[in-house]
Structure 1
Amino acid sequence: MTVPEAAPEVESDDATLAARVRDGDVRAYEQLVVRYQGQMFRLASRILADRAEAEDIVQEVFLTAWRRIGQLQDDGAFAGWLYRMTTNRCLNLLRSRQLPADVDPDATASPRTETQPEQAVQVSSQLEALTVALQQLTPEQRACWLLREVHGRSYEEIGEIVGANATAVRGRIARARAQLAEVMKPWR
């Protein structure tokens, strides 16, 4: 007797998966976690400049998402909801800190191995300078800049995530870009 093979899992959109999660489907939730955990971790680690805290925040965000999926009004807005929770938790943590962090979240990342050693040193130095420059921004500017430049979110989405209007978001990003451009001048 042959055992029928399991049907291959079809990639579903966020709205379908979120609706299934609301109905208690753990596998659908796992798919959403796999889809977004890397993005949320990169965002949190760059905002916080602390890998361990970023891991904790992301774990809390996904636990909260599981518990509160019923509060999500639009299943298609799942990604924005995660970005908002991640950003808000990071900003709240930063506000509670006494001293700014000076830890490089990408300390374990290395430049591509096929580059020349001199070029690898220069790229590494540029990344280190950018990390330091990002830490000099206000937490709100840093979050807006990262959501726009690294995660490609629209001004309106960023506004919803950080609780500001699109004009305020544009201003924060403009100030962040100006400050980063000034600090990164030597690298041009």
Structure 2
Amino acid sequence: MISLFGRKRTGPDSVSNTMAIKQQRYETLVYAVHGDLFRYAFWLCHDRQVAEDLVQETFLRAWKSLDSLKDDKAAKAWLITILRRENARRFERKQFNLVDLDTVPVPDQQSLGLEQAMENEWLRRHMSELAEEYREPLLLQVLGGFSGEEIAEILDLNKNTVMTRLFRARNKLKDALDKDTQTRGQHNG
């Protein structure tokens, strides 16, 4: 339909069709990455409620700017970037009480065996002790499943820098494991 000024007008059917397509694209996106986003948000804040709020805000911002997402294959990285920015915004808005990470329960530990739960707790504790520059790329790789290139894009870093940080993070965890193994060996032998 053409208006008096030569512009193409969109009728009500066209608008509702466009909205339906956007809604379907959004729902597919939410369904595909919700779990990954929640896990990453929980690792960032160590609080289930805050993580849920972060994910909800992330999806709200994603809905508002969904048209700017040109490549659906980049959706997960795009959403992680939004989530990281949303997490940073919460620190701009207010101050939070600090929590000792050793006292925060991991939600699904009850369903795991005791040995697996202990290993998860050890890993979580040692990962939280890593400097943020090492911890964040490692979390994105382990929890998010991102490649070095994707992590570099998300963190706005050079790929070689990311790969070096991942290497160092793994080595620091390996050193901590070796140290704990030696300490246990001294007490048992």
Give the TM-score normalised by the residue count of structure 2.
0.71
Check the 8 A contact 1:104/1:128 in 2, yes or no: no
Q: Distance in 2 between matches of 1:138 and 1:91?
A: 17
Check the 8 A contact 1:50/1:101 in 2, yes or no: no
Match of 2:41 in 1: 44
Which of 1 and 2 has higher RCO (CA within 8 Å, sep 6+)?
Answer: 1
Matches within 5 A, 1:30-179: 30-90=27-87, 99=98, 102=101, 104=104, 106-112=106-112, 120-179=113-172
RMSD over equivalenced CA pairs, Å: 2.8
Q: Return 5+ residue gaps in structure 2 as ranges.
A: 1-17, 183-189
Check the 8 A contact 2:26/2:66 in 1, yes or no: no
Q: Distance in 2 between matches of 1:123 and 1:100?
A: 24
Check the 8 A contact 2:36/2:143 in 1, yes or no: no
Q: CA deviation at 1:37?
A: 0.6
Check the 8 A contact 2:109/2:117 in 1, yes or no: no
Work out the percentage of aligned pairs sharing the same amino acid.
Answer: 31
Aligned-partner SS, 1:152: coil
Aligned-partner SS, 2:151: helix
Q: Return 5+ residue gaps in structure 1 as ranges.
A: 1-22, 113-119
Check the 8 A contact 1:111/1:123 in 2, yes or no: no
Q: Distance in 1 between matches of 2:177 and 2:159?
A: 26
Give the TM-score normalised by the residue count of structure 1.
0.71
Structure that is richer in helix per residue: 2
Number of aligned positions between the proteins:
160
Q: CA deviation at 1:97?
A: 5.9
Q: CA deviation at 1:94?
A: 7.0
